[in-house]
Every structure is written in C-alpha cells, then in structure tokens.
Structure 1
Amino acid sequence: CMDMIEEFPSQIEKYYKVKHSDDPEEVLEHIALKLNRLKKGGLPDTNAAARIVLKDWQEGRIRK
C-alpha cells in the first residue's frame, strides 16, 4: 500500500480528499482519520486504512 501511495499520490489524495504529504504513513493517517478508522485513544488505525485503500484499488474505485 505504501508503494502505491508513493507511485500514485495524486490519485490517492484526490479520491480520499486528503492533503499531500511526502510521507506515505502520514497520508494513511489522514485517510484513517477521514474514514473514522481509529484505535483506542483516538489514534489513526493505519492498518485498517491500508486495507481499505487496497480494496478500493482492486475494485477499480481509484483510477490511475
């Protein structure tokens, strides 16, 4: 998922409406917050966000 965020940053950022960052982990954190995927304590669940990004990519929701 991190490679995908690095390879296609504008598509990922446009689809999830998150701001640009050179750090893919930070992008995943923004996506997790946007999708309300949080762990205990309100921390972003980046694993859940990564699974969602991969699923959306596989289902063709995110275009190249």
Structure 2
Amino acid sequence: MGYSLIRQVRAQEALRGEKILAVALTAYARDEERNLALEAGFEVHLSKPIEPDKLVKVVANLVKSGKEV
C-alpha cells in the first residue's frame, strides 16, 4: 500500500537529508483516509475522480513551494 511506501521513502530521506514531494491520489475520500495519508508522510491527499487541471495545479504548487501546500 502507498502508506508503507511513503513511510519507507521518508525513512530514507532522513538518512540522506533530502525531501521527495508526494501526493496521495486515492479513491478514498473520507477525512479518516486523508488524515492517514498526511500522517504517513504525503504532502497532499486528493481523492478520485480528479480534474486534470486540479492535479496539475497541486503538483505545480508543490514544486514551486518545495513544501506542504
């Protein structure tokens, strides 16, 4: 599952001192899933279906800011 993967990525980042930005894109839209995704280490949680323009804006904002949106 994506939560396990992002936890592994975050653990490696701590060792290397670098940050990889990550967006959770899921069919689960409840607040519980959003909170789990953010607690696991994703910067943003988006639920499907998503408009392509919105996804592009979220990714662009993450890249531009280099941090949480």
Bigger helix share: 1
Bigger strand share: 2
Do Structure 1 and Structure 2 share a fold, with TM-score over 0.5? no
TM-score (norm 2): 0.32
